[in-house]
Amino acid sequence: MTRLARSTLIALVLVLAPFAQRQAHATTIYKCTDAKGTVTLQNDTPCKPGEKQEVRTIGALPTAPAPAERAVEVKAPSGPPPNAHFELVRGPVTESLPVSQIPLADRKPPPPLFECKVWDLTTYLSEADTPQERCVPLATVGLNGGGGAGEACEIRRDTCTALTGEALCTAWQRRVDEANFRMTYAAPADKDARKAEYERQRAALVDSTCR
């Protein structure tokens, strides 16, 4: 194991150690990226306003004794722990949406929005009511009983539920915030497309009965 790998492993243990003492409570790790691209990891503390925010939720963990204290100072790596999977979510709101020029009496509900769940229990918002198909990897067994006999997968479809009422308005606010993040941190080649998508979604929310 290289020195960098050992440092990364120790840092990950230190980050997750407090979680081992909790039982029946989920813990959230926030991955924050500022305007300069600096990445930090925070336990149960949302990112600062203006930062890109991604989260990873760790479910209930069994009770375990706290690790023995060691007089070793470890510098955490600048990036996320290895094999960590984060989901981009709505971060702290820093801007005020413009006031609609359409009278309230003439406004309509926002376009339909669906909350879809993937086979691994992650969720996302979609304007399409057609669930995506995903190829879920399956374990394969060789003739000698070992693994590595090839690759196989099972086709599964996401399950999507239409949102209504206050849930629909909240989801649209989250969708607009996420579009703003994607526009802010987009590569130069994607900047115009991200901006157009953000402005489209923002107009759909501003001119709706949600505002």
38 and 102 share a domain? no
- Give the Cα separation of 50 and 181 in Å (integer): 9
Contacting residues for 34 by C-beta, under 8 A, at least 6 apart = 48, 50, 51, 52
78 and 179 share a domain? no
pTM: 0.52
pLDDT of residue 181: 84
- Give the Cα separation of 186 and 194 in Å (integer): 7
9 and 83 share a domain? yes
- Domain holding 200, by residue range, is 95-113+163-211
Q: Residue 170 belongs to what H/E stretch?
A: helix 165-184
168 and 152 share a domain? no
> How many domains are there within the chain?
3
In a domain, 40, yes or no: yes
- Give the Cα separation of 127 and 111 in Å (integer): 8
Q: Which residue has the higher pLDDT, 150 or 24?
A: 150
Q: Which long-range contacts (CB under 8 A, 24 or more apart) does 40-46 make?
A: 41/15, 41/76, 41/80, 41/81, 43/15, 43/18, 43/19, 46/91, 46/92
In a domain, 190, yes or no: yes
Confidence grade of residue 137 (pLDDT, cut at 50, 70, 90): confident
Tens of pLDDT along 56-100?
A: 766 544 444 555 555 445 454 455 555 555 655 655 555 678 888
